[in-house]
Chains A and B, each alone.
Chain A
């Protein structure tokens, strides 16, 4: 289970966690900027849409295959 945030299109991430497209294709500059004020929506490992709960402080996102991450 992952315990830390997987950076958008960061090292080792296969998929962009904002738009769900391949992390290695394109720069995802707009996605990275948007992620400052958004939680991730796609699992960076498998591209599944995650169940995301935003709380007044922080958020959590769950992928059925790769577990929960928090930010």
Chain B
């Protein structure tokens, strides 16, 4: 057994204290033959500190495309020659999407908009949309609307949005290579306000943007410092027309190493499979990740791309004897 896994067993599994940056890096550098042991340990940590339940979420894009920011992975930036056109979802369709999501047994419905931050039109649409969902659908509403002002944070709390997603995307040292229209610190400031408001903080990122393994470890440590309620883990799905459109996808084994390492850095967080898993991991790898530290999934489609059918994921959870977290357990 490599030394880092022995250390993690006593430090993380037994005492619930996450690995630091050096520890995460050691896990990310483990040779293939030790990957199964790392995944098993990460799974044990998840079972011990989070339990067997899996949180299921659906997401929908309220405002797609035409974003003024330049996140190099994103097909919704209006600054690239991506084929994604700007479009708004109407409220009846939003409510229908929430209903579709609730039908899967999901407890979370996240409303997302491709914006730098919300304007008055978007906040109005949110107020009406969240109220309409709450009137008709039994599901918790989360939001992801970019950078917020304090007034907007307060408004979202008032609407009953219980969790806010704002991804740091990558580590601080690599961020300027991925985004030039705003800073990592600006994102951090929104996260700080969200945390202080009492909303749950959801913050993760994308692996495979060209960051080094050391920078992946840096990112895990920075997320651990933030201590979010939830960490969505995406793997780059290179989008045509974006600056990262020709990047290779993350190797399945590297993705699994990252899942184990992020779990060992953050024993108590909700670690969610988000975009790109279908391409990076396929069905078998998806299963390995759920047995290697992941305890939440996005089911159904993503914002501009499609996922596998929700029924496939639910069947997998059933096979793995992992109960879907119920709404009553989260209220």
Which of B59, B64, B86, B240 touches A56 (beta carbons < 8 Å)?
Answer: B59
A57 adjacent to B303 (CB under 8 Å): no
A7 CB-CB contact with B under 8 Å = no
Interface residues on A, range: 10 to 19
Q: How far is the CB of A48 from chain B (nearest CB, A)?
A: 10
Produce 1/0 per residue, B35-67, CB < 8 A to A. Answer: 000000000000000000000001111001000
- CB–CB B307/A37 < 8 A: yes
Proximity string of chain A (22-55) to chain B, C-beta cutoff 8 Å, 1 when within and 0 when not: 0000000000000011110110000001111111
Question: Within 8 Å CB of A55, what residues of B?
Answer: 60, 93, 96-97, 100, 301
Q: Does B226 contact A (CB under 8 A)?
A: no
Flag whether B208 is at the interface (Cβ < 8 A). no
The one of B87, B240, B299, B307 that contacts A52, using a Cβ cutoff of 8 Å = B87
Q: Of the candidates B83, B96, B304, B310, which one forms a contact with A54 in the assembled complex, judged by CB atoms under 8 Å apart?
A: B304
CB distance from B114 to the nearest CB of A (A): 12
Q: In the complex, which residues of chain A have a beta carbon less than 8 angstroms from the beta carbon of B240?
A: 19
A38-B306 contact given A55-B93, A55-B301, A59-B301, CB 8 Å threshold: yes
**Which of B59, B84, B89, B93 is most buried by chain A, counting CB atoms within 10 A of its CB?**
B84
Listed from nearest, the 4 A-B pairs whose CB atoms lie closest are: A56-B300, A41-B83, A56-B58, A51-B87
Contact, CB under 8 Å: A37 / B85: no
Instruction: Say whether, besides A19-B240, A37-B279, A37-B307, A56 and B301 are in contact (CB < 8 Å).
Output: yes
B305 at the interface (CB under 8 A from A): yes
Q: How far is the CA of A42 from the CA of B300 in the complex (A)?
A: 23
Whole-angstrom CA separation of A46 from B299 in the bound complex: 33
State in angstroms the CA–CA spacing of A28 and B134 once bound together.
44
What is the total number of residues of chain B having a CB less than 8 Å from a CB of chain A?
30
Q: Which residues of A contact B300 (CB under 8 A)?
A: 56-57
Contact B85 A51 (CB under 8 A): yes
Q: What are 20 A-B pairs with beta-carbon distances under 8 A?
A: A50-B85, A51-B86, A51-B87, A52-B64, A52-B84, A53-B61, A53-B87, A54-B301, A54-B303, A54-B304, A55-B93, A55-B301, A56-B60, A56-B100, A56-B101, A56-B299, A56-B300, A56-B310, A57-B301, A59-B301
Which residues on the A side are within 8 Å of B306 (C-beta)? 36-39, 54, 59
Residue-wise interface mask of B (17-29) relative to A, using a CB-CB cutoff of 8 A (1 in contact, 0 not): 0000000000000
Cβ-defined partner of A53 (8 Å) among B64, B279, B305: B64
Chain A min CB distance to B213 (Å): 27
Instruction: From known contacts A37-B305, A37-B306, infer whether A56 and B85 are also in contact, taking CB-CB under 8 Å.
Output: no
| Given A55-B60, A56-B301, 13 extra CB contacts under 8 A | A19-B240, A37-B306, A39-B304, A39-B305, A42-B83, A49-B83, A51-B85, A54-B304, A54-B305, A55-B96, A56-B104, A57-B310, A58-B301
How far in angstroms is the closest Cβ of chain B from A14?
Answer: 17
Nearest chain B residue, comparing its CB with the CB of A48: B85
Q: How far is the CA of A54 from the CA of B58 in the complex (A)?
A: 12
| Beta-carbon contact of B83 and A20 below 8 Å | yes
The complex places the Cα of A59 from the Cα of B89 at a distance, in Å, of 12
Which positions 125-158 of chain B face chain A at CB distance < 8 Å? Answer: none
Decide if A38 touches B83 in the complex (CB within 8 Å).
no
B214 CB–A CB distance under 8 Å: no
**CB <8 Å contact, B100 and A52:** no
B64 to chain A, nearest CB (A): 7
